[in-house]
Amino acid sequence: MLIFDIITAGCESRSIWRGRVHSVFENAINILANNTLHTILFNPLWVSETNIITDKAIAVHIDRADIICSDGDYLYAGTAPIASFKNSVCWQMPEISGRKVTLESVLKIKSVLDTVKISDITAYVGNAFTECARRFISGENADFTEIIGAGQGLTPTGDDMLTGFALALLCERPADLARLSMLCTPLLTATTDISNYLLAEAFRGKFAAPLVSLLLSMQTGRGLDEAVEIALNIGSSSGRDGIFGLYTGLILLADG
């Protein structure tokens, strides 16, 4: 059998684990192993600590297998090795807390968001989210019940906004990320399985590369245009919603 090269592997996926296929999409396959969702992707830009980037032709081998596992050197479909980690780049989320974003970058994000057309539902969820985020930052009672699971898609609008907001907290006020987790974790059953997992990861300070790279560019002022473009292209609207949550958080934290 042809053994594919893994291009990039998240540090948690390049380890020993054993699981089963959870869900299959055009450009992604999710493997659930010991409560961790390892995602095999075919887009090199969408990497996280639990993602594996490789050739799309691998999908047919995964579809046929009951068990998918890793020994840190190879990815297996059943007992057959199908991909090698040996030449892969190991990705780990960089340190982002303790560094301020530039004013110019915040204004750039605002101008980009103003040009993106959104639906009435997204606008409604965005307004509700902004009010919840404002109350949270100011120390008032914040109820995210109507935010989590709100909107459409595998990762609903409200969840994507909340993910961006969590990243802003990690950057500017890390101690409050634990408080957000305490408030929102009991509500995660209201959303999709995949979004539930991604939000849980965000609450423990783990995010995917596009939003992290955008925040790093906002801190350094370098490569901002490219980082915005990459982040905007996540899913059909997840990128825009995640950026909105990040921007909203940064603005509220600056005012607070």
- Considering the domain architecture, whether residues 69 and 112 belong to the same structural domain is answered as no
- Considering the domain architecture, whether residues 143 and 63 belong to the same structural domain is answered as no
Instruction: Pick 7 or 102 by higher pLDDT.
Output: 7
In the listed set 25, 59, 91, which residue is the last one of a domain according to the structure?
91
In the listed set 91, 122, 153, which residue is the last one of a domain according to the structure?
91
User: 148-198, pLDDT tens digit by residue?
Assistant: 999 988 899 999 999 999 999 999 999 999 999 999 999 999 999 999 999
- Considering the domain architecture, whether residues 70 and 118 belong to the same structural domain is answered as no
| pLDDT recorded at residue 48 | 93
Number of domains the chain contains: 2
Query: What is the number of other CB atoms lying within 10 angstroms of the CB of residue 71?
Result: 13
Tell me if 124 is assigned to some domain. yes
Q: What is the mean pLDDT of residues 11-16?
A: 96
Spatial separation of the C-alpha atoms in residues 167 and 39, rounded to whole Å: 21
- % of the chain residues with pLDDT over 70: 99
Domain that holds residue 171: 103-255
| Mean pLDDT for all residues in the chain | 93
Tell me if 98 is assigned to some domain. no
The structure's pTM equals 0.92
Spatial separation of the C-alpha atoms in residues 18 and 68, rounded to whole Å: 6
Beta strands in 63-195 (DSSP E): 68-71, 74-77, 80-84, 89-91
Tell me if 96 is assigned to some domain. no
Tell me if 165 is assigned to some domain. yes
- Considering the domain architecture, whether residues 111 and 27 belong to the same structural domain is answered as no
Tell me if 236 is assigned to some domain. yes
Spatial separation of the C-alpha atoms in residues 165 and 91, rounded to whole Å: 23
| pLDDT recorded at residue 40 | 96
With vertex at residue 226, the alpha carbon angle to CA 225 and CA 228, rounded to the nearest 5 degrees, is 65
- Considering the domain architecture, whether residues 143 and 192 belong to the same structural domain is answered as yes
| pLDDT recorded at residue 236 | 83
Q: What are the DSSP calls for 213-250, one per residue?
A: HHHHHHHH-SSHHHHHHHHHTSTTTHHHHHHHHHHHHH
Tell me if 97 is assigned to some domain. no
- Considering the domain architecture, whether residues 208 and 250 belong to the same structural domain is answered as yes
- Considering the domain architecture, whether residues 247 and 130 belong to the same structural domain is answered as yes
- Considering the domain architecture, whether residues 248 and 158 belong to the same structural domain is answered as yes
- Considering the domain architecture, whether residues 178 and 52 belong to the same structural domain is answered as no
Q: What is the mean pLDDT of residues 227-231?
A: 94
- Considering the domain architecture, whether residues 124 and 228 belong to the same structural domain is answered as yes
Q: What is the mean pLDDT of residues 58-87?
A: 94
Burial letters for 120-141: b for 16+ Cβ neighbours within 10 Å, e otherwise? eebeebbebbbebbbebbeeee
- Considering the domain architecture, whether residues 153 and 181 belong to the same structural domain is answered as yes
- Considering the domain architecture, whether residues 130 and 182 belong to the same structural domain is answered as yes
In the listed set 91, 111, 138, which residue is the last one of a domain according to the structure?
91
| pLDDT recorded at residue 228 | 94
Instruction: Pick 63 or 53 by higher pLDDT.
Output: 53
3-state helix, strand, coil in the chain (%, to 5): 50, 20, 35
Tell me if 191 is assigned to some domain. yes
- Give the residues across from 16 on adjacent strands: 71
Q: How confident is the model at residue 1 (pLDDT cuts 50, 70, 90)?
A: low
User: 16-57, pLDDT tens digit by residue?
Assistant: 999 999 999 888 999 999 889 999 999 887 889 999 999 999
